[in-house]
Copies of this chain bind each other. A is one copy, B any other.
Amino acid sequence: MIKPLGDRIVLSIDQPEEEKVGGILIANNAKEKPVTGSVVAVSETGIGDTEAPKSVKVGDKVMFDKYAGSQVTIDGEDYLIVHEKDILGVL
Q: Which residues of A contact B (CB under 8 A)?
A: 2-8, 10, 35, 41, 43, 45, 47-48, 50-51, 53-56, 63, 65-66, 70, 72, 74, 81, 84-85, 87-91
Chain B residues whose C-beta falls within 8 Å of the C-beta of A66 in the assembled complex: 70
Indicate if the CB atoms of A6 and B48 lie closer than 8 Å: no
Indicate if the CB atoms of B70 and A5 lie closer than 8 Å: no
- Integer count of this chain's copies in the complex: 7
Indicate if the CB atoms of B48 and A90 lie closer than 8 Å: no
A87 to B50, CA, bound (A): 13
A54 to B43, CA, bound (A): 14
Looking at the complex, which one of B41, B63, B84 makes contact with A47 (CB distance below 8 Å)?
B84
